[in-house]
């Protein structure tokens, strides 16, 4: 039975790192707004709660993956448990918990232009009841992949395999792998995490990859942070300074990956040799075909993957799977790899807007028909922002940035007495090429490329795309003129004379 609808000003979808950060900014910058967070799980954390495989950890440093408003005081690379503890502190310190409704799976969102309201329906998992909310603004923090169904390719003969087969996303921490032969399929960030963790107790680990990955090996410490702590600098200052240092270094690295990829690769190899020895052989398993940074660099604290390889606990096979067999898999080149446990680290299934059915004035929204404004707002869909973070830099940098943006927007709407905001292509955009979400040679992980036809489209101008570039956005997004003509309020663009008048008043 459906309850009567609860009304709030802002509804945040998801209690992952994006949803909790967004709630913090809303409370701080729009203190009069009422809000709830709807979360289908029975706890917060999102990604960091879903994944339970051995060794699960960040591959970004927590100085930048942590929020700008709460200092990170530990080692840069953190376990899922440490990230959850940090998020738990943010929730508690800011009394965010009273706003979170756990166990609420959103099943539909519909916008009414007559009422300027979203109606959001959810199933309350405790009693299977349908509950409804109405809100003025939807802040979509549901992430980008399906938390329940990971991506598993269809390999032939899977039924004949007699051992334990599991996708890393579904790993049960009770599984005993001590003394077992473990085969890990894949070589991305997840594989780079599980391989050294398995190698500690397993009889042997084999990593079977279709193609090689770049690895960045480093100690799990930040010398600047340690030094500043040693001389007594306060944690908020350390957090600010170390974030600045890391972002500067990453910017340099990204640029160098584009201008001198071969030199960068030589440097990555030198780091690996520190852990694997001078004679370590890179061909054929550690020589990727793409440029560094076209996909996320797999971070390897203390070179642990290479330490396992050097100790003979890990072998790498670069090949494709021909078929599963009773005892393991046979590769295309005919090699049989026997394993007691096979762990697929084959990535995610993209989830666009949590696969929630959306309607605007009774018409279903096909996200691929929309054009995105800076990867956060979508033509034809009012009063909604999607927090889609960065892949090359820490995701959370964009959570803070869009937190400011959304709060500015909400405050601007209040100041101007407007109820509805949407983005719309301008006359000058009429000839603009409309293209897929991201170009294949910019950032091209398989899960995006597989489903690019379901993602919103982009235009050939900077404002109509998510460029995945923190360093340009940190200048552009905070200085956005909310009265510029791509923003349409209550069905009208701000007239340029009004905008000029506003500018004159401001000076
Ligand atoms: C193993 C792993 C490691 C990663 N490491 C890093 C890293 O080191 N650095 C980095 O920058 N990025 C990393 N990422 C990317 C990472 O997912 C993001 O950085 C970030 O955690 C995403 O946060 P989020 O809150 O946007 O989404 P999520 O963590 O996906 O959380 C979304 C939440 O929304 C909820 N939700 C979804 N649909 C609904 C619905 N219909 N109704 C109600 N609730 C719903 C989900 O249950 C979930 O709790 C990693 C990803 C994975 C999988």
Our mutation pick for probing the ligand 1 site, out of 11, 16, 133, counting the most ligand atoms within 8 A of Cβ, is: 16
Pairing of strands 164-167, 215-218: unpaired
pLDDT at 442 over 80: no
Q: Given the CA of residue 16, which atom of ligand 1 is nearest to it?
A: 25
Provide the pLDDT for residue 495.
67
Q: Whose CA is nearest to atom 32 of ligand 1?
A: 142
Q: Is 347:152 a contact under the CB 8 Å cutoff?
A: no
Is 21 near ligand 1, meaning CB less than 6 Å away?
A: no
In whole angstroms, give the CA distance from residue 123 to residue 131: 6
Summarize the confidence of residues 19-38 as an average pLDDT.
98
- Domain positions in the chain are 6-147+350-506, 158-344
Rounded to whole angstroms, the Cα distance separating 256 from 250 reads 10
State residue 188's pLDDT score. 84
502 pLDDT tier (thresholds 50, 70, 90) = low
Assign 3-class secondary structure to 296-365: CCEEEECCHHHHHHHCCCEEEEECCEEEECCCEEEECCCCEEECCEEEECCCCCECHHHHCCEEECCEEC
- Quick check: CB of 66 below 6 Å from ligand 1? no
Could you report the per-residue pLDDT of 58-98, keeping only the tens digit for each?
989 999 999 999 999 999 999 999 999 999 999 999 999 99
48-62 pLDDT, tens digit each: 999 999 999 998 999
- pLDDT of residue 363 exceeding 80: yes
pLDDT confidence bin for 164, thresholds 50/70/90: very high
Q: 6-147+350-506 with 158-344: one CATH topology?
A: yes
Q: What percent of the chain has pLDDT over 70?
A: 95
Q: Does domain 6-147+350-506 have CATH number 3.90.1150.10?
A: no
Rounded to an integer, the average pLDDT of 151-173 is 96
Residue written as tokens 């072998």? 315
Average of per-residue pLDDT values in the chain: 94
Ligand 1 centre from 491 Cα, in Å?
34
Tokens of 35: 């809000």
Tell whether domain 158-344 is in CATH 3.40.50.300: no
For the CA of 49, the nearest atom of ligand 1:
49
pTM: 0.95
- pLDDT computed for residue 2 by the predictor: 46
Q: How far apart are the first and last CA of the chain?
A: 56
For ligand 1, is residue 47 a contact (CB within 6 Å)?
Answer: yes
> What integer pLDDT is reported at residue 507 of this predicted model?
52
The pLDDT value given to residue 3: 53
């Amino acid at each position: 039975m459906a309850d009567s609808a609860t009304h709030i000003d802002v509804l945040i979808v998801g209690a992952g790192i994006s949803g909790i950060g967004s709630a913090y900014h809303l409370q701080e910058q729009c203190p009069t707004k009422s809000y709830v967070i709807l979360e289908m799980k029975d706890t917060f954390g999102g990604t960091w709660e879903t994944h339970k495989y051995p060794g699960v950890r960040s591959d970004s440093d927590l100085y930048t993956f942590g929020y700008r408003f709460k200092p990170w005081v530990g080692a840069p690379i953190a376990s899922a448990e440490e990230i959850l503890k940090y998020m738990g502190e943010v929730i508690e310190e800011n009394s965010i918990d009273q706003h979170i409704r756990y166990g609420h799976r959103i099943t539909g969102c519909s916008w009414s232009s007559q009422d300027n309201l979203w109606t959001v329906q959810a199933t309350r998992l405790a009693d299977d009841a349908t509950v409804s909310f109405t809100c003025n603004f939807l802040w979509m923090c549901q992430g980008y992949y399906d938390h329940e169904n990971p991506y598993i390719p269809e390999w032939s003969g899977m039924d004949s395999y007699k051992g334990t087969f599991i996708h890393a996303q579904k790993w049960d921490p009770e599984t005993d792998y001590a003394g077992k032969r473990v085969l890990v399929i894949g070589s991305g960030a997840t594989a780079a995490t599980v391989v050294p963790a398995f190698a500690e107790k397993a009889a042997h680990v084999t990593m079977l990859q279709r193609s090689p990955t770049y690895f960045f090996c480093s100690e799990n410490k930040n010398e600047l942070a340690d030094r500043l702590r040693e001389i007594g600098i306060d944690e908020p200052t350390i957090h600010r300074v170390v974030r600045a240092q890391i972002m500067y270094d990453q910017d340099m690295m990204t640029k160098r990956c584009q201008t001198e990829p071969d030199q960068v690769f030589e440097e990555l190899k030198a780091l690996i040799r520190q852990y694997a020895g001078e004679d370590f052989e890179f061909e054929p398993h550690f020589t990727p075909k793409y440029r560094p940074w076209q996909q996320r660099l797999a971070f390897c604290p203390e070179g642990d993957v290479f330490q396992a390889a050097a100790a003979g606990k890990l072998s790498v096979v670069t090949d494709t799977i021909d078929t599963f067999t009773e005892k393991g898999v046979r590769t295309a080149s005919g090699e049989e790899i026997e394993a007691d446990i096979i762990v697929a680290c084959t990535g995610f299934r993209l989830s666009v807007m949590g696969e929630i059915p959306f309607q605007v004035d009774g018409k279903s929204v096909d996200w691929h028909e929309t054009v995105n404004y800076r990867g956060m707002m979508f033509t034809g869909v009012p009063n909604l922002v999607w927090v889609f973070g960065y892949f090359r830099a820490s995701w959370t940098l964009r959570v803070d940035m869009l937190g400011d943006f959304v709060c500015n927007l909400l405050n601007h709407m209040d100041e101007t007495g407007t109820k509805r905001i949407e983005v719309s292509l301008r006359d000058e955009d009429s000839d603009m090429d409309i293209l897929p979400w991201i170009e294949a040679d910019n950032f091209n992980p398989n899960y995006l490329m597989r489903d690019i036809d379901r993602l919103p489209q982009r235009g050939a101008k900077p404002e109509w795309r998510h460029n995945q570039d923190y360093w340009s956005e940190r200048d552009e997004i905070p200085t956005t003129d909310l009265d510029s003509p791509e923003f349409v309020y209550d069905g009208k663009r701000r007239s340029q004379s009004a905008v000029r008048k506003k500018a004159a008043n401001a000076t």
